[in-house]
Amino acid sequence: MVSVEKEKIDLPLVSELMIPSEKVAHVQLGNPLEHALLVLVKSGYSAVPVLDQSYKFKGIISKTKILEETLGMEQFELDHLSDIQVSEIMEKNIPCLEQTDNMLDALHKLIDHPFVCVTKENGEFDGIVTRRTILKQFSKHYHETLKRA
């Protein structure tokens, strides 16, 4: 936690809020879209991180992007999904966090994304922080504050 002295608020750090990498579903750069779709459908997530072979974070692949790709073809042929690699259509310009960032840093980045990836200095994937986690923190904080008022 870091203390914001004036407000007397203890802000949790990203390290305390994140889901660690070993619990995060991911796909690899070279995986075909067919595999990515399977991971997304089976896990129930709308998007997952994309990593390279040395576990570095490279982007995000979503059901929406895969669907867009499918609809862009002449016919609606799911077979084509095995010919296209995740790296060809993933989103690359994604903001990241580091473990030493605090909850407000996470909040700002989560306004436009349902989850944000946490990386190490060398770009290695460390985990994710989700909107759900941050909303739970705010809910807890306000309930506690209201109880004391």
Residue 47 interacting with ligand AMP (CB under 6 A): yes
Residue 132 interacting with ligand AMP (CB under 6 A): yes
Q: Give the residue ranges of DSSP H helices in 6-72.
A: 14-17, 33-43, 63-71
Site for ligand AMP (CB under 6 A): which residue of 27, 37, 48, 61? 48
Residue 25 interacting with ligand AMP (CB under 6 A): yes
Site for ligand AMP (CB under 6 A): which residue of 9, 114, 120, 141? 114
Nearest-angstrom CA–CA distance, 57 and 98: 12
- Give the helix/strand (H/E) hosting 60: strand 57-62
Query: How many residues bind ligand AMP, per CB under 6 A?
Result: 14
Residue 64 interacting with ligand AMP (CB under 6 A): no
The one-letter code for the residue type at 90 is M
Is residue 33 within 8 A of residue 139, CB to CB? The reply is no
Render the burial of 43-59: b for 16+ CB within 10 Å, e for the rest. Answer: eeeebbbbbbeeeebbb
Residue 137 interacting with ligand AMP (CB under 6 A): no
Residue 23 interacting with ligand AMP (CB under 6 A): yes
* Site residues for ligand AMP per CB under 6 A: 19, 23-25, 45-48, 114-115, 128, 130-132
